[in-house]
Amino acid sequence: MAEESEAEEKAEEAKPPHPHHHPSREEIRKQIEREKEEIEKRLENVEHVLVVMSGKGGVGKTTVTVNLALCLAEDADVGVLDLDIHGPNVPEQLGVDRPPQASPAGLFPVKGYRDVKVVSIGTMLEDRNLPVLWRGPRKSGFIREVLVKTQWGDLDYLIVDMPPGTGDEIMTGLEMLPERARNVLLVTSPESMAHSDVVKAGEAVKRMDGNLLGVVSNMHGIICPECDSLIEYFTEDHSEELAERLGVEVLARIPLDPEAKLRSEEEGKPMVLAAPDSRAAEAFQELAERVKEEL
């Protein structure tokens, strides 16, 4: 078979697809390769990318994302990309109530507290109170589109908040990011440690050529609102065991801090802003320092 010249191939790619045309596997592969190149270009001026994930929901991924972003933003330019289609709550926590601005040049993030640039799928949906009933391919397509279109500009850190599990969003998110950007923080909580979900998420990251930076143990003990002491409520520290199994370290232990959480609810701001002197805020600062060392 005669080899297709490069020019012919390009002309073929430039043709608009017929409306009833179903792309072949090869066409999809090429499309994805093109998108990956575009995403790499988009992230050219982003120094470090950090992906926050976990095998489970409710362990504190979003809490870690927003508080860490704010700590880093004290002396750096930071962006947050919220890829949780079903439960996006990054924007309200960072004080953003508008979707990114769309123009022919792309999607432009909106700035929240401490000038953190935010892009959240949640703000792009028509009615934020309606559930999103999308199956895998549609979710993956949307995530790819947002990654291709977002103009982050110059950033020191971009933090990606992932939905729970190891499903489509995570696979697509990690796969589409350039390899240098696949740095992952695994958030866990004492309860979920008994399960193998977090280990599974860690193994998934390794298989996708990700770089596991370390484990964050959230809700690690409770801070007594009366005397500010740390109350341990689990006899064993499973986070060490988990980190060892994955060949990384526990980068920070964040206590469950009811008082800081209360102040955060009252002020409608993350704990490091609403309760900067709390034990939880202190732990987030330590995490930010460790992250800077590890990246």
Ligand X SMILES: Nc1ncnc2c1ncn2[C@@H]1O[C@H](COP(=O)(O)OP(=O)(O)O)[C@@H](O)[C@H]1O
Q: How far apart are CA 242 and CA 254, in angstroms?
A: 16
Q: Which residues bind ligand X (CB under 6 A)?
A: 54, 57-63, 218-219, 254, 256-257, 261, 280
- Minimum CB distance to Mg ion, residue 77 (Å): 23
Do residues 52 and 64 make contact, with C-beta atoms less than 8 angstroms apart? yes
- Extended beta strands in 91-139, E state: 101-103, 106-108, 110-111, 117-120
- Minimum CB distance to Mg ion, residue 201 (Å): 14
Nearest to 233 by CA among 224, 244, 245: 224
Region from 16-24, 59-67, 111-119, 165-173 binding Mg ion, contact rule CB under 5 A: 59-67
Sign, CA torsion 185/121/49/200: positive
Q: Which is nearer to ligand X, 245 or 261 (CB)?
A: 261
Q: Which is nearer to ligand X, 92 or 249 (CB)?
A: 92
Dihedral Cα 179, 45, 106, 37, nearest 10 deg: -30
Q: Which is nearer to ligand X, 114 or 261 (CB)?
A: 261
Find residue 50's DSSP bridge partners: 159, 183
Nearest to 254 by CA among 234, 288, 275, 282: 282
- Minimum CB distance to Mg ion, residue 223 (Å): 22
- Minimum CB distance to Mg ion, residue 164 (Å): 7
Choose the contact partner of 140 out of ligand X, Mg ion, none; CB within 5 to 8 A by kind: none
Do residues 285 and 251 make contact, with C-beta atoms less than 8 angstroms apart? no
Q: Which is nearer to ligand X, 148 or 184 (CB)?
A: 184
Q: Which is nearer to ligand X, 47 or 266 (CB)?
A: 266
Query: Is residue 189 involved in binding Mg ion (CB under 5 A)?
Result: no
Q: How far apart are CA 64 and CA 51, in angstroms?
A: 11
* Given 53, 55, 62, 142, the residue binding Mg ion (CB under 5 A): 62
Region from 3-11, 46-54, 57-65, 224-232 binding Mg ion, contact rule CB under 5 A: 57-65
Do residues 195 and 57 make contact, with C-beta atoms less than 8 angstroms apart? no
Region from 29-37, 54-62, 249-257, 278-286 binding Mg ion, contact rule CB under 5 A: 54-62
Choose the contact partner of 218 out of ligand X, Mg ion, none; CB within 5 to 8 A by kind: ligand X
Residue 69, Cβ density class (10 Å: 0-12 exposed, 13-18 middle, ≥19 buried): buried
Query: Is residue 93 involved in binding Mg ion (CB under 5 A)?
Result: no
Choose the contact partner of 220 out of ligand X, Mg ion, none; CB within 5 to 8 A by kind: none
Q: Which is nearer to ligand X, 116 or 254 (CB)?
A: 254
Strands 101-103 and 106-108: antiparallel
Exposure of 166 in the CB half-sphere (CA atoms within 13 A) = 15
Write the CA distances from 274 to 102, 257, 259, integer angstroms.
32, 12, 10
- Minimum CB distance to ligand X, residue 142 (Å): 19
- Minimum CB distance to ligand X, residue 291 (Å): 17
Size of the site for Mg ion (CB under 5 A): 2
- Positions touching Mg ion (CB under 5 A) are 61-62
